[in-house]
Amino acid sequence: MVALLAENPVLLLFVTAALGFAVGRVHVRGASLGVAAVLFVGLVIGAQNPDLVIPEFARTLGLAIFVYTIGLSSGASFFASFNRKGLRDNALVVVVLSFAALLVFLAAGIFDLKPTVAAGFFAGATTNTPALAGVIEAVRGSGEAAATEPAVGYSIAYPMGVLGPIIAIAIARRLFRVDYRKEAGRLASLHLVQEEIASVTARVTAPAAIDRTVRDLQRELGVPVVLSRIQRGTETMLAEGDVRLREGDLVSVVGEPGNVETAVTAIGERDPRRPALDRSSYDFRRIFVSRTDVVGRRLRDLRLPEDYDAIVTRVRRGDVDVTATGDTVLELGDRVRVVAGRARMKAVTERLGDSYKHLSEIDLLTFGLGMSLGLLLGAITVPLPGGLTFELGSAAGPLIVGLVLGALRRTGPIVWTIPYSANLTLRQIGLMLFLAAVGLGSGYTFRTMFAANSGVTLLLTGAVISIVVPMLTLVIGYRLLRIPFGQLTGMVSAQQTQPAVLGYALEDSGDEAPNVGYAMVYPVAMITKILLAQVLLLALGGLG
């Protein structure tokens, strides 16, 4: 069997991937290794024989695809996170991660770890595969042995990197006696939690709303809601900006429940019959955004009310509905709820695309161009003092280009982003290729180095770091910065870039607050760990 797998690297790759995904689905108290299990299965298989490896090309290809797709999906939120409160929260994460790197630096001195092992250990303790990829890329020129050593440290520290933050959250919640219901109310009052979208019919009775245009009323409301349809007697019309409200009009209000109630109060009162407005003239439906000429554009720039007698009331991106506003930028794969005249619904559908088949395809021209730009950036050699040189490599280069292109979304006719589902698929395939290649290539080295590097001692050291570091974030964030605990647990999950921790946090809080913190700091945490892992490598002399 060993000979068969050694002679068929493609078969070896998929056997490793299949077994890895099977192991990754095993849950223990709500936590699982997920796709990272592919690495551990690769280590076990690779430890059996040094010939059980797959070509280096698979590792590089998988790595480049993985980090580029992460950049595309995170680019907009990465640059948007640098607002006043976002800077504070991201600064906290950067400082704590820097402290984690310092702890690993001290541990490397105490246990006399090789720089490559220590840098991989940091990536494992913070459960960040792109950081591991960056380290491997940085030391690739130092020889095959050095390129396999980071995976040793990573695999030793990774398991407690998953469990440690969960333990820290459980301890902190009991220590601080957190009341999640109270926290949820605070987040809702600050409009930090995205609630389910509601649709309510309001009757115009408030004097301040009578004879006001829809545009003026929405501007004065100060909350993101959509007024979609107006029923005046037997006539139903679209709530366009210049339409003036009259007493007794029935108005359809769409948005988050709290915002809807604010709007209803300003308009008048909730209609006691709560009727569904007449759909004989205006109807609504969900439409997939699949046309590239509308992607990356703001809704107001599409002129749907003026040209198509239609209004978008909500946008479903991934598994979340958000209220549509004029500043909402459409992306490939969005599902939008459109209210339009029955006679114009077909035209609106054609304008937005509504092709599920098209969303399953990838524009290989823009994808290939973006990947090429990333790899070219990574190949640029930067001279450093002392005769050293530095390259971003196939990890950081595509990631940086992906972040920039993801934030731009489009350049003229070129749409850089790819559909949400296609992005996830490519990301998983890329990660599978990378983890399988690294695991198989490092397995035999891991087997021989575990005892030499005091594996059990390092396992305990990783456990300490993986509990202390998130606990520090929780204490500083909750006690000093007064960040709501639910949101803070999401920040800890993003600090670890660990979906298993986020899953635990969501289950523990019972609401969406952790998602707020996760989305806010995840891109910065990802970039910071990639950089810190290489700084650690450099500080320990691994690039000397």
**Res 324: pLDDT:** 83
Specify whether 176 is located in the same domain as 212.
no
Beta-carbon contacts of residue 503 (< 8 Å; ≥ 6 apart): 30, 31
Is position 305 within any domain? yes
Is position 500 within any domain? yes
What does DSSP assign to residue 246?
Answer: -
Q: How many helices (H) and strands (E) does the chain have?
A: 22, 13
Specify whether 171 is located in the same domain as 200.
no
**Res 472: pLDDT:** 95
Is position 106 within any domain? yes
* Edge-to-edge order in the sheet of strand 335-341: 282-288, 335-341, 310-317, 320-323
- Report the alpha-carbon distance of residue 225 to residue 198 in Å, rounded: 10
Q: How far apart are the first and last CA of the chain?
A: 41
**Res 214: pLDDT:** 87
- Name the CA dihedral angle for 435, 439, 441, 442, rounded to a multiple of 10 degrees: 130
Specify whether 381 is located in the same domain as 528.
yes
Beta-carbon contacts of residue 524 (< 8 Å; ≥ 6 apart): 78, 81, 90, 93, 94
CB 403 within 8 A of CB 75: yes
Token pair belonging to 169: 């959250």
Specify whether 181 is located in the same domain as 274.
no
Which of residues 292, 325, 358 is at a domain's end? 358
Is position 363 within any domain? no
**Res 507: pLDDT:** 67
Specify whether 27 is located in the same domain as 48.
yes
- Report the alpha-carbon distance of residue 259 to residue 267 in Å, rounded: 12
Beta-carbon contacts of residue 65 (< 8 Å; ≥ 6 apart): 371, 426, 427, 429, 430, 433
**Full domain range(s) for residue 444:** 2-137+144-185+369-539
Which of residues 358, 391, 419 is at a domain's end? 358
Is position 86 within any domain? yes
Is position 337 within any domain? yes
Q: How many domains, the chain?
A: 2
CA 51 to chain centroid, in Å, comes to 37
Is position 459 within any domain? yes
**Res 190: pLDDT:** 47
**Res 238: pLDDT:** 84
CB 250 within 8 A of CB 231: yes
Specify whether 485 is located in the same domain as 417.
yes
**Res 191: pLDDT:** 46
Specify whether 413 is located in the same domain as 307.
no
Specify whether 258 is located in the same domain as 133.
no
Specify whether 269 is located in the same domain as 329.
yes
CATH number of the domain bearing residue 237: 3.30.70.1450
Q: Interhelix angle for 485-495 vs 180-189, to 10°?
A: 90
Specify whether 268 is located in the same domain as 319.
yes
- Report the alpha-carbon distance of residue 537 to residue 526 in Å, rounded: 17
* Edge-to-edge order in the sheet of strand 268-270: 235-238, 226-232, 250-255, 198-204, 268-270
**What DSSP string describes 476-530?**
IIIIIS---HHHHHHHHHHHTT-HHHHHHHHHHH-SSHHHHHHHHHHHHHHHHHH
Continuous H helices in 278-361: 299-302, 304-308, 345-352, 356-359
Specify whether 328 is located in the same domain as 451.
no
Count other Cβ atoms within 10 Å, centred on residue 246: 13
**Res 32: pLDDT:** 63
Count other Cβ atoms within 10 Å, centred on residue 66: 26
Is position 413 within any domain? yes
pLDDT tens string for the chain (544 positions)?
778 888 888 899 999 999 988 888 887 665 566 776 787 788 888 888 888 888 888 888 888 898 788 788 777 776 766 666 678 888 999 999 999 999 999 998 888 888 888 998 999 898 887 788 778 877 776 665 566 778 888 878 877 787 788 889 888 988 888 877 666 555 554 444 455 677 888 899 898 888 889 888 888 887 888 888 888 887 888 888 888 999 888 888 888 787 888 888 889 888 865 545 556 677 788 888 888 888 888 888 888 888 888 888 888 876 677 788 888 888 888 888 888 888 888 888 889 888 777 776 788 889 999 999 999 988 887 775 655 555 667 767 887 898 889 888 888 888 888 887 788 888 888 888 888 887 887 777 667 666 555 667 777 888 899 999 999 999 999 999 888 888 888 889 889 887 667 767 766 776 667 766 776 787 788 888 888 988 898 888 755 5
The pTM for the full model equals: 0.68
Which of residues 303, 332, 358 is at a domain's end? 358
- Name the CA dihedral angle for 499, 505, 507, 511, rounded to a multiple of 10 degrees: -110
Specify whether 381 is located in the same domain as 440.
yes
